[in-house]
Amino acid sequence: MAILVTGGAGYIGSHACLELLRAGHDLVVVDNLSNSHEESLRRVRELAGRDLVFHRADLRDAQAMERLLATGTIDAVMHFAGLKAVGESVEKPLEYWDNNVNGTLVLLAAMARHRVKRLVFSSSCTVYGAPASVPIRESFPLSAANPYGATKLTIEHILRDLHHADPAWSIGILRYFNPVGADPSGRIGEDPRGIPNNLVPYITQVAVGRLERLRIYGSDWPTRDGTGVRDYIHVTDLVLGHLQALEKLRAGPGIMTCNLGTGSGYSVLEMVRAFERVTGRTIPYELVGRRDGDIPEAWADPTRAKTDLGWSATRGLDEMCADSWRWQVNNPEGYGNSR
């Protein structure tokens, strides 16, 4: 298939592009490079041994989206583009609503005009808010504890309304838990700008000497060691779930929602100790106050993904840490020191 990948130069998007090319799909990538690097796509081409088409554009640019979809060659869209930091969303809610929701509306309108009605959407476990229990199932009540989660939940509502109005759409809503790791080549990985918002790149940047110490937000959560507990999933497992969803959507119209997680939760301190064990590096850290918008614990019940998509995560915690570290060691300055 010919697939339009939004946000394809970013962390998850670049890994998806690699696996899509390896699976034989033709790709058109759109990314505004606000929090990503075109170098990632050069490396994706190199690793896959195949080319892709890249357009630097913003989803909110209606004319740009019109030009991309007017070609009549796109069969499906994999939608990753969006701002994604919980803490930043609390500080800059208008930017998140404009970028995530408005950008998606512009994209969907262009897709509808050109009868491209197959979509895999990158949602998030933040749509469950502060769940009453774990593991989290897709049937749990939905809410949002922060503006980032609210944008994802709003987009889910939009997609359900769209499918209700036009059942010809085929839509997969994939709720991520916490993607970590990198392609085993060490050539592509997570390269946030500024101080990382996510735990594992923060750990690796401390380990490589870019940052002095890890800040752990909250040591008084009602968890086994007082730090937050999350379901960490290897990014390659995550994007392979997208390929399975894409295959499922080829069977015909419909809308489905699946968690993508491992079904296991690890605390921040457990992640630090696992990384130290795998790499032999000591990670200095300091305990600070809780961060607005955070919740104590969240991990998935991935049963539906296994049943409906034939997918399950296969890469364990040691592999996540080792691949994250390999990426960081090979690229101590991220894509900023391209080679």
Q: Which residues are catalytic, by number? A: 148
Show the tokens assigned to 30: 């759109």
Cis ω for the linkage preceding 332 (within 30 of 0): no
**C-alpha 337: how far from its chain's center?**
24
Dmax over Cα atoms in the chain, in whole Å? 55
CA distance 307 to 181: 25
Is the CB of residue 151 less than 8 Å from the CB of residue 101? yes
CA distance 31 to 71: 18
Is the CB of residue 313 less than 8 Å from the CB of residue 244? no
CA distance 69 to 124: 26
State the number of CA atoms in the 13 A half-sphere of 127 facing the CB.
26
